[in-house]
Every structure is written in C-alpha cells, then in structure tokens.
Amino acid sequence: MQYPQWIWHNGTIKPWAEATTHVMAHALHYGSSVFEGIRCYDTPDGPVIFRLNDHNQRLYQSAKIHEIDIPYPLDQINAACREVISANGNTTDYLRPVAFRGLGGFGLSADTPTDVAVATWKMGQYLGAEALENGIDACVSSWQRFAPNTIPAGAKAGGNYLSGTLVAREARRLGFGEGIALASTGLLSEGAGENLFLVFDGALHTTPVSAALLNGITRNSIITLARDAGIDVIERDLPREYLYLCDELFMCGTAAEITPIRSVDGRQVGAGKAGPLTRRLQDLFFGLFNGTTQDKRGWLEPV
C-alpha cells in the first residue's frame, strides 16, 4: 500500500504520519469503532464520490447503535471526505471515515472521547487485478456469522469484522479468492466483507438482512438498478447448496464492486465465468461513472 500525503483527523487536515492515537485507546482493546468504506470514481465530468451522504448517514446510525458520540455534524464529515480527496490531488479512489473510542478510561463501559478520522488511498480491484472480468473461486467457511441477538450486524463496526477476518484468512490459506459465511441458522449469510447475489432463471436472489449481514450500500444500489431495468429481485432465505445450483453468482461491496464467482468449494457455478445478468449489472453499475447509466437519484457527489 502506498500511503497518501494527507489525512483528516479530529477536525483538521494533517500529514499522514501525524494521525496517531494512544496504544491504550479503548477501540484498540475492545473493537469500539464504526467506519465506512466509500469509493471515488473518475467520470467525464470529473471525480465523484459514490453515495457519500448515504454512507455517512450509515456511519452515524452505526455510532448510535454502539453509543459512540461523533462530535461533528454529518455535513462536516461529508466535507472532510471531499477535502481529503482534493488535498491528495484526486489520485485516490477509496475513503475510510472512522469514529472510535479513544484514550480516557479503561474498562468496557468507560466514558472516553471519540476520535474521528477520514483516510483515503488507492484501492484498485480489491479481490485481484482480474477479478471483475474473470471472477474468483470461493469457498464456504467453517466460521459462521454471529447470531442476530449477540452482535448487531446492521452496524458497520470494527469489532464485527473479526468474523470476516477469520472467513477471509481461512479462504486465502486454502487457496480461494474469498470465503462465504453461513448464518447461525445454517443458511447463507454473506461473504467475508461482501453481500451475495444468486441468479436463477433470470431473477436475482439475495439473502435478507435478518441473515446477520450488513445491508450494503452497493447491495442496495444493485437492487435499485436491477428493478429499474425490469429485473426481478427476491430477498429470501437461501440454503448453502444453492451456491452450487444457481445459474450465476456474484458478490458485491464498496471494495469488491461486482465480482463474479466462478466456483464454490471446487464446484463450477453455471458456465464457470461471469454470466449475462452479472455482466449486465456490471454495465449498469459502472455506467453510472462513464455516463451510460443515468444517475436518477443523485448518487454521484462531485469532489
């Protein structure tokens, strides 16, 4: 990773190396942070941030769930995202706003100040240079998602991602591009850090938010674009074996974008490559940034 020059930290732009926190910060010990991942894209009209306000609204929702008080208004965090992209010369394509409990007390319920930062860097293709075109091989993880009455999956919280880390590291160790987790019910949940879509007979099927998954912004975007295009979208419980039987399969997220899955557990999915509906949805999604898909909902925020 090549570090950019500037970062926004507790209200000011400062050099990357100066954005530090104490080793006794609450979040470092207990995972008490909330964050967002936001993509930036070049367009014919200049650089844009994709669904900036929607992402940062979710940041505040996650903070509310975990009783983390963000000491800045939403508009200021939105402005900080634009500011840090500009400060780094519009050369980065990923934003990471994060709010976390800092130094000021010890113990699970300690009252601590909230530190806030917005970092940016060059992400590229998260799951590999050829993943969007050629797809990846995935596996079902031995690790399950947490039960819904234990940790709130609807919050994008740092501690939640220990689950995804186990799923992802197991998959890489076994030679797969990404892992897929089951819910505590034994039904499908999501990828290590991505939502899932399966295609049967020209319709999109995706797991419900009750399956211990994060209701992704990219997931919502795909559902919206698909329905605009007359494609049926069905949110339903899905058993593991449907991964092997579906016509097409892909995972999505801010980092992964729309990544086809060509096999699961060594079983070929469909034709073993990105299928026609996956390609169509990729075209609709990336068309937002090259001008071939109309931005009907104001999702593109100029830097």
Name the residues annotated as catalytic. Answer: 156
CA pair distance 107, 109, nearest whole angstrom: 6
| Phi, psi angles (nearest 5°) of residue 117 | -140, 155
User: What does the DSSP assignment read for 214-257?
Assistant: ---HHHHHHHHHHHHTT--EEE----TTHHHH-SEEEEEETTTE
φ/ψ region of 128 (left if φ > 0, alpha if ψ in -120 to 50, else beta) reads left
- Dump strand ranges (E) for 102-213: 114-121, 136-140, 178-182, 188-191, 195-200, 203-206
Classified as helix, coil or strand, 38 is strand
Classified as helix, coil or strand, 168 is helix
